[in-house]
Amino acid sequence: MGTPHHFDPTILREYDIRGIVDKTLGDADACALGKAYGTQLRQKGGRQVVVGYDGRESSPRLAKA
């Protein structure tokens, strides 16, 4: 187990995640979210994930993280 990730409390909403890139939402946040989602998916028997994003310049970087 690694070090726990601490999110800016303003980004985690009931049904989505919203933040300002490089202020309240960064690569480490995207990585932690991806790992958490992947863990949940595998526990339920899932094997594949598709990541989509919009046209913002930060989207490819956050998707890669």
pLDDT value of position 1? 64
pLDDT digits (tens, 9 = 90+) for 4-33: 999 999 999 999 999 999 999 999 999 999
Express each pLDDT in 46-64 by its tens digit.
999 999 999 999 999 999 9
Q: What pLDDT score does 2 carry? A: 75
Is residue 34 scored above 90 in pLDDT? Answer: yes
Percent of the chain with pLDDT over 90: 94
For 26-49, letters b (16+ CB in 10 Å) and e give beebbebbbeeeeeeeeeeeeeee
Q: What is the pLDDT of residue 32?
A: 95
